[in-house]
Amino acid sequence: RPVVGVLSVQGDVREHVAALDAVGADPRLVRRPRELEGLDGLVIPGGESTTIDRLCRIFGLHEPIRRLVAAGLPVYGSCAGMIQLADEILDGHPEQQTFGGIDMTVRRNAFGRQVDSFETDLQIAGLPDPDRPFPAVFIRAPWVERLGEEVEVLAAVEGHPVAVRQGHLLATSFHPEVTGDHRVHALFVELCSG
Ligand code: GLN
């Protein structure tokens, strides 16, 4: 079973642990730098990206995670996790830093300026059983405003990319961990097994 860390400083950690477990991974909580050792992949949960960033820097996790992302560790970020994987963010806290890795610019709370949260059925490329729509839950979600050439768009809402992949890095604006549909986690665990 691929060993997949879940960054556990803030956010909906338990839901990701349950989803990873359901698709055959061996989830591990990551709160300290040494807990990053021996992972086949890492999940950055949804939550509050400014808090996740601040705590990661306080706990000495920021630099090691940056290095692992750059070294090719598969990493999946949902919502706040997507923000933390973006090379550039808009409407961030002035001091907010990201791990980066995906060549994109993401705007925080982009959908939230219209409606705070919503659910919609999405067609997501690359999922097992791709014709079956995915119930995507958006909560004060970011969207992608600029994409580099290496970035593949797996799904979009009204023209805004909401699921992207760049090599070993996967990010969604929405929260697949809060639905019973674990196909996004299955796709990620497949990347971790590769
Ligand atoms: N709005 C949050 C942020 O900017 C993300 C929300 C979420 O993860 N549901 O970090």
Annotation says 192 is catalytic: no
| C-alpha of 190 from chain center | 15
ipTM value, please give it.
0.95
Output the domain CATH number for residue 137: 3.40.50.880
Domain total of the chain: 1
Among 4-13, 46-55, 60-69, 110-119, which stretch is predicted with the lowest mean pLDDT? 110-119
pLDDT band at 113 (very low <50, low <70, confident <90, very high): low
Mean pLDDT score across all residues of the chain: 96
User: Any idea what the Cα angle at residue 156 is, between residues 76 and 20, rounded to 5°?
Assistant: 25
Q: How far apart are the first and last CA of the chain?
A: 12
> Is pLDDT at 194 greater than 80 in this prediction?
no
- Give nearest CA residue, ligand 1 atom 5: 80
DSSP for residue 178: G
Instruction: Evaluate if pTM is beyond 0.80.
Output: yes
- Give nearest CA residue, ligand 1 atom 2: 48
Q: Which residues surround ligand 1 with Cβ inside 6 Å?
A: 46-49, 79-80, 83, 108-109, 139-140
Range of the domain at 140: 3-193
Q: What average pLDDT does range 72-76 have in this prediction?
A: 98
Q: Catalytic pick from 62, 168, 175, 182?
A: 175
Would you report the helix, strand and coil content of the chain in percent, each value rounded to 5? 30, 30, 40
Atom of ligand 1 nearest to the CA of 138: 9
pLDDT band at 40 (very low <50, low <70, confident <90, very high): very high
Known binding residue 108? Answer is yes
Minimal CA–CA distance to 74: which of 85, 60, 89?
85
User: Any idea what the Cα angle at residue 92 is, between residues 57 and 105, rounded to 5°?
Assistant: 105
> Is pLDDT at 136 greater than 90 in this prediction?
yes
Rounded CA-CA distance 131/139 in Å is 24
| Residue 111, pLDDT score | 85
163-192 pLDDT, tens digit each: 999 999 999 999 999 999 999 999 999 999
| Residue 67, pLDDT score | 98
How many CB atoms are located within 10 Å of the residue 168 CB? 18
Q: What average pLDDT does range 106-128 have in this prediction?
A: 89
**Probe target for ligand 1 pocket from 84, 118, 139, with the most ligand atoms within 8 Å of CB:** 139
HEC assignment per residue over 102-163: EEEEEECCCHHHCCCEEEEEECCCCCCCCCCCEEEEEECCCEEEEECCCCEEEEEECCEEEE
- Cβ atoms of residues 84 and 53 within 8 Å: yes
Q: Catalytic pick from 15, 16, 168, 177?
A: 177
Annotation says 79 is catalytic: yes
Alpha carbon of 116 to ligand 1 centroid (Å): 11
Q: What average pLDDT does range 124-138 have in this prediction?
A: 93
pLDDT band at 131 (very low <50, low <70, confident <90, very high): confident
| Residue 21, pLDDT score | 98
> Is pLDDT at 154 greater than 90 in this prediction?
yes
Known binding residue 139? Answer is yes
Amino acid at 93: H
Alpha carbon of 141 to ligand 1 centroid (Å): 6
> Is pLDDT at 77 greater than 70 in this prediction?
yes
